[in-house]
Chain A
Amino acid sequence: MLESKRKPILAPPRLKKKWDVYIDSEQCDGCGVCASFCSKELLKASENTNSRMLHFIEIINPEECVGCSQCERLCPVTAIYIREIDLDEDVNDES
C-alpha cells in the first residue's frame, strides 16, 4: 500500500513542456555569450552570415532546450528568446 504512488487529488495536472527558441538572426551580433552560458551547450555560431556579415548564433538541437532562459536574459541585444509551451501530455503519464 505504502509503495503505491501517491498522487495529489486536487492538484491540476502537471503538463510536459517544450521550449521554442527564437533567434533573430538580423539582430544577432554573433558575440557568443549565449552559447557560452547555455546549460546544455545547444548554441553555436552559424556558418552563414546575416546582412551585416556577422555569423549569427543558431541552435543545434532545439528539442533538448530545458528552458533555463540564461540565453534570453544574457543577450545584450534581445536577439534570442524562448517561449514555454505546455504540451498535452501529463508529466506523470507513462503511457
Chain B
Amino acid sequence: MKISDELCIPEEAYEHPLRERLNLNRFIFCPGCLIGTAITSITNSLREKGLTLKDYAIVSGIGCTGRSSGCFKAPAFHTTHGRAIPFATGLKLANPKLKVVVLSGDGDLFAIGGNHFIHAARRNIELTVLCINNNVYGMTGGQVAPTTHIDDITSTTPYGNMESPFNLVSLAAAAGATYVARWPGYDTLRLQKSIIKSIDNDGFSFIEVLAPCFIQYGSKNQLGDAVEMLDWLRKQVKIETNVAPHKATFDFKKGIIICGEFVEEKKEGFSKRIKQLRERAHNKINKK
C-alpha cells in the first residue's frame, strides 16, 4: 500500500481497517462496480459481529460475483455454476456452528440454480444468501438473465427482451425464506445492518443487492457509465417499510424500485431440526 505524496500525509501510516480481512489482489471487478462495495460491506458486518475466519465460510458460484469469494481472507469456495447453495448446505449441515454466506449473481442463483434456491428456502437452511443483481449475465458478455426487464437489449436479445423478469423478493418470500430484504448497492449503512440481521437469523436469509452492470447492460441500453447509472438508480429507489413481498415493485420502465425489509420471521432452522432426527433414532434404539 502506498500513500500518495500529493495528498493528505498522515504522521503515522494508517491502513484501511478492512484490508487485513481482504485479498486485494483478487479484486478483478470493473472500476465502479458495486460488487466490490458488497464485499467490503459483508466484511465490515462480519467484523462488527466479532467473527473471525474460524466462524464463517464464503461460497460463490460463477460469474462476476462468483469471483468474489477469493476476495475474503476466509475459507472461500468458488464452486460451479448454480451450485453454490447446495455446497453451502453441505458445509452447514456438516458443521452447524459455521456461518455460511453465499454470494452469487442473479443468473447463477435463479436460472441454473433456481431449483436449489427454492428448495433451500423451503427447508429454511441457515444460510445468508446475497444476490448481487446486475440484471444480466455480466462475465460472459451481457446475455439476458431471468432478471432482465422487458424490451432490454442484451447480447442474446438484440431486438429486445420478450420475457418478464422474476421479482426476486417475491420469489424468495414465496419459497419460504424467513428474512428477505432488498437494498441498493450504494446504501451501505442499511446493507451492513441488514447483513448482520441476516447472519443472526436462524433460517434462510435472502438479500437482493442492486448493482446494475454499466459495462454490459448499461452500454447496450444507453444508460451511461458507472456514475450516471448510479444516479439513474438513485432516482428510482424508494425505501419503504411494511411492504408485502409480492408488492415489492421493481420496474425500470415505471421508474420504481421498492427497497427495504420485506420478511422477518422466526422459524426453526433446518440444521437445528435435523439434529432432532438423532434423538428420535436413539430413542427408537433404546425402546428395543
Complex partner residue of B6 from A20, A24, A32, A58, CB under 8 angstroms? A58
**Do the beta carbons of A25 and B10 come within 8 Å of each other?**
no
* Cβ contact within 8 Å between A74 and B226: no
Minimum CB distance partner of B192 in chain A:
A73
Whole-angstrom distance from the CB of B10 to the nearest CB of chain A?
Answer: 6
Query: Contact: A81 with B16, CB < 8 Å?
Result: yes
Find out whether the CB atom of A58 lies under 8 angstroms from the CB atom of B7. yes
Cα–Cα, bound, A12→B144 (Å): 58
| In-complex Cβ contact of A76 among B1, B7, B40, B189 (8 A) | B40
Interface residues on B, range: 35 or more
Residue of B31, B35, B39, B189 with most chain A CB atoms under a 10 A cut-off: B31
Pick from B4, B8, B33: contact of A20, CB under 8 Å: B8
- Report the bound CA distance from A32 to B31 in whole Å: 9
- CB-contact partner of B186 in A35, A54, A74, under 8 A: A74
Contacts of B24 in A (CB 8 A): 27, 77-78
- Which partner residue on chain B sits nearest A25 by CB separation? B4
Residues of A within 8 A of B186 (CB): 33, 37, 74
B4 proximity list for chain A (CB < 8 A)? 23-26, 56, 58
**12 A-B residue contacts at CB 8 Å?**
A22-B16, A24-B2, A26-B2, A33-B186, A33-B230, A58-B4, A58-B7, A72-B16, A73-B37, A75-B37, A76-B32, A78-B40
User: Chain B residues in contact with chain A, CB under 8 A?
Assistant: 1-4, 6-8, 10, 14, 16-19, 22, 24, 27, 29, 31-37, 39-41, 44, 186, 188-189, 192, 226-227, 230-231
